Structure 1
Amino acid sequence: MSSPEAIPAATVIVMRDTGSGPPELLMVERSRAMAFAGGALVFPGGRIDPGDHLLTDRHEDAAARVAAIRETIEEVGLALGLDCDGESLAKLRAALHAGEPFAQLLAEAGLALDLDALVPFARWLPHGLPHRVFDTLFYLARAPEGAAPQVDGSENVRLCWITAQGALDAADRGEAMLIYPTRRNLERLAQFDGFEAAMAHARRFPIEPITPFVESRGGVDWLCIPDGLGYPVTAERMDRAVRA
């Protein structure tokens, strides 16, 4: 049976430095009713819509960056690469929830996107899954000053600021569910003491599709990813891996 065609998507890892310890990441818990990654702790993001291609510039991946910014506004009410006050942001978010086009809303408000606020981090492209598959570009972004995100209460039921290691520990205690790509990304993010270090690290590695594969080791199947892309852990036993 062939895999479904991959759906282009974008996700943003919003990071804030604490000054007294590891940086914190903004994560959301998806509603258990969602078909994809229901109940999982993930980063904000979603599919790239046709309208996202209307707001393009010199970036080859411009539509993905636009989608990451739009989805972050919709899901958590946080503006990345966008200079607007709280009232304007609330109106923009409400209009997006009502289905109004992002490009039109920005034009009417006289707002422009700074796509350089997003730093490419990774690209994940699974295959061989019986359900929908996402071709997802991951980005890093620094949390805006005074950020006060709010969960949307529909696709996501709660949000939290948490360190990468904190999220991994919560999953190991059974207090959170992490799908395979999220766990690998958290292990990578746990290496950094701040946003600048994470950004410098990300720029040292190529953004190539990461497609997990199964490898038998001593009679045990492991779900693996390629080496050389910045990930400190590249394999997990299949019977322990959580696939969306």
Structure 2
Amino acid sequence: MSSATAIEGRRLAATVLMLRDSVDGIEVYVQERVSSMPTFPNTTVFPGGGVDPRDFLLDPRSDPVLGDSLQAWAKALHVDEAQAQALLFAAVRELFEETGTFLVAFSNGKRIGSAAPFHRERLMLESHQMSLGEVLEDHDLKIRTDLLRPFARWHSPEYDKHQFDVFSFVAVQPPGQEPDGNTPEAASTGWFAPSLVLDGWRAGLLRLVLPTWAQLKALSNFDCVQDVLESLKTPSMSPMSEHLAGGDYFEEFMTFEPPKRF
């Protein structure tokens, strides 16, 4: 594992909590992983995945973002600028690969509208034939960090075979783009109220891991996307892990055992 893609032996990863407002309140996009996935099979998760070398820019002098600077992101995420850029790229790339939602704009600030014209690039990213940096360069694009907020950071439990340092981002659904769930990694996908997903877990209809559960619980306290964004102006990105998840907030997950329905 490259030292650039890991911190203290844990592989860097990014997940994206894509949000939208609905008539019934806030909704978040989730997907149920297929049974063949090596990590968290049959588990309901947010889009995301590990950082890999293609998420680092070949030319560190380039400016790939529209929004806050990489220096500001590095400070917010408590990593160096190269890792901040790679985490942002991983978040945008994974969201595009798994949902078809592309958080980019042209370098002059013009919005892209539909992401359909970039379908070929989506397939080439999925097959590792292109990097996100190459896609941006080929089409004069930059990632829209104004649509992203840092949300949380989780470390894998020490007993897990796969060790990850997972940075979660909140993303606002871009106007004119609708996720399609066309990914081999997911058996089903959709928009749901966070509280509804939690109720499904309580009924034994779906599986959740602690970070997903905790973040859904946090989202369930908000009525609209703007309220979530306001709360994340100064987020705490101190790493959390299962052995630190004590106290009343996590008691339900730690003590409640949903009925086994599958």
TM-score (norm 1): 0.84
Report how many aligned residue pairs link the two structures. Answer: 223
Q: CA deviation at 1:32?
A: 1.0
> 1:218 matched to which residue of 2?
none
**Is the contact between residue 104 and residue 141 of structure 2 (CA under 8 Å) also seen in structure 1?**
no
> 1:87 matched to which residue of 2?
116
**Alignment pair present for 1:225 and 2:229:** no
State the identity as a percent: 26
3-state DSSP class of the match of 1:71? helix
> 2:173 matched to which residue of 1?
143
Match of 1:10 among 14, 25, 29: 14
> 2:99 matched to which residue of 1?
76
> 1:216 matched to which residue of 2?
none
Q: CA deviation at 1:97?
A: 2.0
**Is the contact between residue 155 and residue 240 of structure 2 (CA under 8 Å) also seen in structure 1?**
yes
Query: Where does structure 1 lack aligned partners over 5 or more consecutive residues?
Result: 214-223
Give runs of aligned pairs for residues 14-29 of structure 1, distance below 5 A. Answer: 14-18=18-22, 20-29=23-32
> 2:250 matched to which residue of 1?
234
Letter in 1 for 2:200: A
Match of 1:111 among 113, 125, 141: 141
Question: Equivalents in 2 of 1:226, 1:174: separation in Å?
Answer: 23
**Alignment pair present for 1:200 and 2:198:** no
Q: CA deviation at 1:146?
A: 3.0
Query: Where does structure 2 lack aligned partners over 5 or more consecutive residues?
Result: 1-7, 58-63, 75-83, 106-110
Q: CA deviation at 1:13?
A: 0.5
Range moving further from structure 2, 60-69 or 79-88: 79-88
Match of 2:239 among 202, 209, 214: 209
Question: Equivalents in 2 of 1:114, 1:146: separation in Å?
Answer: 15
Question: Equivalents in 2 of 1:89, 1:78: separation in Å?
Answer: 10
Letter in 1 for 2:121: L
Deviations 1:125-181 (A, max 9, x none): 123223102110001111111322122341112210001001001111222111111
> 2:4 matched to which residue of 1?
none
Deviations 1:74-95 (A, max 9, x none): 0111112444343323122122
Question: Equivalents in 1 of 2:31, 2:135: separation in Å?
Answer: 25
**Is the contact between residue 81 and residue 116 of structure 1 (CA under 8 Å) also seen in structure 2?**
no
Question: Equivalents in 2 of 1:27, 1:130: separation in Å?
Answer: 23
Question: Equivalents in 2 of 1:199, 1:44: separation in Å?
Answer: 19
Question: Equivalents in 2 of 1:239, 1:128: separation in Å?
Answer: 22
Greater helix percent: which structure?
2
Letter in 1 for 2:213: R
**Is the contact between residue 81 and residue 117 of structure 1 (CA under 8 Å) also seen in structure 2?**
no
Range moving further from structure 2, 116-125 or 53-62: 53-62
**Is the contact between residue 156 and residue 164 of structure 2 (CA under 8 Å) also seen in structure 1?**
yes
Letter in 2 for 1:25: V
**Alignment pair present for 1:46 and 2:49:** yes
> 2:188 matched to which residue of 1?
158
**Is the contact between residue 76 and residue 149 of structure 1 (CA under 8 Å) also seen in structure 2?**
yes
**Is the contact between residue 34 and residue 41 of structure 2 (CA under 8 Å) also seen in structure 1?**
yes
Change in Cα spacing, 1:240 to 1:202, as seen in structure 2 (3 Å) is farther
> 1:190 matched to which residue of 2?
220
Q: CA deviation at 1:116?
A: 3.0
RMSD: 2.2
Question: Equivalents in 1 of 2:227, 2:183: separation in Å?
Answer: 33
**Is the contact between residue 210 and residue 226 of structure 1 (CA under 8 Å) also seen in structure 2?**
no
Letter in 2 for 1:234: F
> 2:89 matched to which residue of 1?
66
**Alignment pair present for 1:98 and 2:127:** yes
**Is the contact between residue 8 and residue 48 of structure 1 (CA under 8 Å) also seen in structure 2?**
yes
3-state DSSP class of the match of 1:124? strand
